[in-house]
Structure 1
Amino acid sequence: MRLVFAGTPEPAVPSLRRLIESERHEVVGVVTRPDAVAGRGRKVTRSPIGRLADEHGIPVFTPRKPSEPEFVEQLTALDPDCCPVVAYGALLPEQVLSLPRHGWINLHFSLLPAWRGAAPVQAALLAGDEYTGASTFRIEKGLDTGPVFGTMTEKIATGDTAGILLERLAEAGAALLESTLDGVEDGTVQAVPQSPDGVSYAPKIDPEAGRIRWDEPALAIGRRIRAVTPAPGAWTELDGKRLKLAPVELVEESLPTGTLELRKTGVYVGTATTAVRLTEIQPPGKRMMPALDWARGARLEPGTVFA
């Protein structure tokens, strides 16, 4: 099939790479979000999907809105049979959805109808789900409500962060997307309406979601840190300064809520239940470092409390 791929961030790269290498399909165009300013140098940067397309000489389109008349004309001229989508990052208008013969097929990183929305991996970790996965579905007007072609499941490991889990799902999901497109072309797969039961939503995660509240249970704190790692990142405050936190380890003893205790074996913090042991901390303007090194350098007073 003639494909126009839509995607933007790194998790979409395995899918585009797999489709470029496919002997059955031809990627005739790529749609991605406009180049953006990023990094400390504030340089204008191409999206990961845009860079991969450039490497393979595939035309790249970066409309600010997919409803722009110029983009609609460009997409019409490409005459795609299908438009696979992975984390594109913009809503598609009906006039665009109706252009490909087989529609737009989205790879979503959850077991729909669970965790519809922008941050399904983070939501699964926050909720303490034992399993998650990926789904391919036909995009329609609603938010991730379209009929499902196929799914794959993935067990969530104890130490998984959002970054680690998403990396696994991106690779396994790429195979699911390719097999879905194969089946659509052959007429061997049919989209099945989503169940009205078990619907949940995963809104976009903002930096405030990474703030650790030490009056929460240790288990919830551990989940939150893993859910926001690596982005937007977990953080707490000490003396008005923001400190970023790496995933923590749960321990069996108790300390007063938010209180730090420095020992030879590590740095411990009290929560609403049992304490946690900090692994790494990133002070303002510095790199991540072992929590014990940070605590010794900070010369913490006994009874120091995180805000």
Structure 2
Amino acid sequence: MTHLRIVFAGSPGAAVPSLRAIAATDHDVAAVLTRLDSPKGRTRVPTPTEVGAAAAELGLPTIKSNRPGDEVTEQITALTADLGVIVAYGAILREPLLSAPRLGWINLHFSLLPRWRGAAPVQRAIIAGDQLTGASVFQLVPELDAGEIYGQFTQPIGGNETAGHLLDSLAGGGAELLARVIDAIADGSARGEPQSGDVTLAPKLTLVDGRIDWTSHASTVHDLIRGVTPEPGAFTTLDGARLKVLDAAIARDAARVPSGQLRLDGRRLLAGTASDPIELVSVQPAGKNAMAAADWWRGRPDDAGMIVE
């Protein structure tokens, strides 16, 4: 099998398993492209991306850029790489960078393409109530997530699984798939297949996307909470203050509660929806730490408002 010279592009933790998987093969990682260091925590100390930190640990050369332009293109072209591999890098690669590696770029995407093309496929799949997802490795082309597919795997979505948990799982399986595809490209056995089926889009989520609509069905509310956890986070408002909902469950055994009303049921704090109530398990009031929802509610004044919006 031919050993390929590879440029890897990625930034968040979901891309780290793929970088490690490639680094463990006989292929040569010539450089890692990742986003610039960014301020973290209260001290706002510039901190490398998780991929950047992993690259340093592995002793791999790193190129840092949020929007690759001429300088980055020249750097990558000078590497004379055979293949570019991108996993959740966080920016769109355009020509002439797309053509810099001899075989172009392949992309690991966490959905069953062409469903959920875009920046937030895992979150959008859960919010939409999908029961099945997976990952795809495809040839990167100028059109968004539209290239031929070299490999896919499918995975069920658990009824209580959050986007964070699902992404962690897909990242591990995706790394294995990616390594297999790279080997197939190296030995000449890889065959790309055109995407088929209905195209759906998965644009990046904003803070507003995390607002809970308590007039919706319980399953819709629960899917939203799971889909935006941990980012950008689910929230509601009570007495004009934001309340983050960190963990929740559908209380199918509880009596109906009017939409948006909060009610303490034994040790459970319930919020009404258009169908079954939602049990608020863990919340974070504005300016405070996370806490058990029922404990938070018991600590509120007796005349506190009862309606969340």
TM-score strictly above 0.5: yes
Q: What secondary structure sits across from 1:70 in the alignment?
A: helix
Partner Cα separation in structure 1 for residue 190 and residue 302 of structure 2: 62
Query: What does residue range 81-96 of structure 1 map to in structure 2 within 5 Å?
Result: 81-96=82-97
Unaligned runs of 5+ in 2: none
Whichever residue aligns with residue 217 of structure 1, its letter is H
Matches of 2:305 and 2:270, distance apart in 1: 12
Bigger Cα displacement from structure 2, 161-170 vs 296-305: 296-305
Partner of 2:150: 149
Correspondence 1:200 to 2:203: no
Q: Which residue of 1 aligns with 2:17?
A: 14
Distance apart, 1:285 and its partner CA: 2.1
2:98 matched residue in structure 1: 97
Task: Give the equivalent residue in structure 2 for 1:134.
Answer: 135
Amino acid in the other structure paired with 2:98: L
TM-score where L is the length of structure 2: 0.95
Alpha-carbon shift at residue 275 of structure 1 (Å)? 1.1
Distance 2:34 2:304 in 1: 52
1:277 paired residue among 271, 276, 279: 279
Change (3 A) 1:64 1:266: closer
Whether contact under 8 Å (2:259, 2:271) holds in the other structure is: yes
Whether the aligned pair in 2 keeps the contact of 1:6 and 1:85 (CA below 8 Å) is yes
SS at the partner of 1:298? Answer: coil
CA contact (8 A) 2:239 2:305 kept: no
1:54 is the counterpart of 2:47: no
Alignment partner, residue 217 of structure 2: 217
* Deviating 4+ runs (over 6 angstroms): none
Name the CA shift for 1:270/1:64 in 2 (closer, same or farther; >3 Å): closer
Q: How does 1:1-307 map to 2 (within 5 A)?
A: 1-22=4-25, 24-66=26-68, 68-195=69-196, 197-252=197-252, 253-301=255-303, 304-307=306-309
- Length, aligned pairs only: 304
The answer as to whether partners of 1:260 and 1:303 remain within 8 angstroms in 2 is: no
Return the offset for 1:265. Answer: 2.8
Tell me which amino acid in the other structure corresponds to 1:122: Q
| Preserved CA contact (<8 Å) 1:109 1:135 | yes
Query: 1:256, 1:172 → 2: CA distance?
Result: 42
The code of the aligned residue for 1:167 comes to D
- Structure 1 contact 269–275 (Cα < 8 Å) conserved: yes
* Aligned-partner Cα distance in 2 for 1:205–1:230: 12
CA distance in 2, matches of 1:141, 1:19: 25
In structure 1, distance between residues paired with 2:206 and 2:44: 21
Q: Equivalents in 2 of 1:113, 1:209: separation in Å?
A: 23
SS of the aligned residue for 1:226 comes to: helix
Identity within the alignment, %: 46
Provide closer, same or farther for how the CA distance between residues 14 and 143 of structure 1 changes in structure 2, counting only shifts above 3 A: same
1:303 Cα offset (Å): 6.7
Residue by residue, what CA displacement relative to the aligned partner does 1:49-76 show, whole Å, maximum 9, x if unpaired? Answer: 111111122111112422x222111111
Question: Structure 1 length as normaliser, TM-score?
Answer: 0.96
CA distance in 2, matches of 1:21, 1:150: 20
Residues 45/300 of structure 1: CA separation in 2 closer, same or farther (3 Å cut) = farther
CA-to-aligned-CA distance 1:218-240 (integer Å, 9 cap, x gap):
11000000000011110111111
| Amino acid of the structure 2 residue aligned with 1:26 | D
**8 Å contact 2:8–2:84 — kept in the other structure?**
yes
Q: Provide Cα deviations, 1:169-214, integer angstroms capped at 9, x if missing partner.
A: 000000000000000011111111111x321111101111111111
**Per-residue deviation, 1:246:** 2.0
2:276 is paired with a residue whose SS is coil
How far apart are residue 21 of structure 1 and its match? 1.2
Closer, same or farther in 2 for the Cα pair 1:219/1:300, shift >3 Å? farther
Contact map agreement 2:34 2:66 (CA 8 A) in 1: no
Give the CA deviation at 1:300: 4.7
Q: CA offsets, 1:128-174, max 9 Å, x none?
A: 11110000000000000011000011111111000000000000000
Name the Cα RMSD after superposition. 1.2
- Distance in 1 (CA, whole Å) between partners of 2:65 and 2:157 is 36
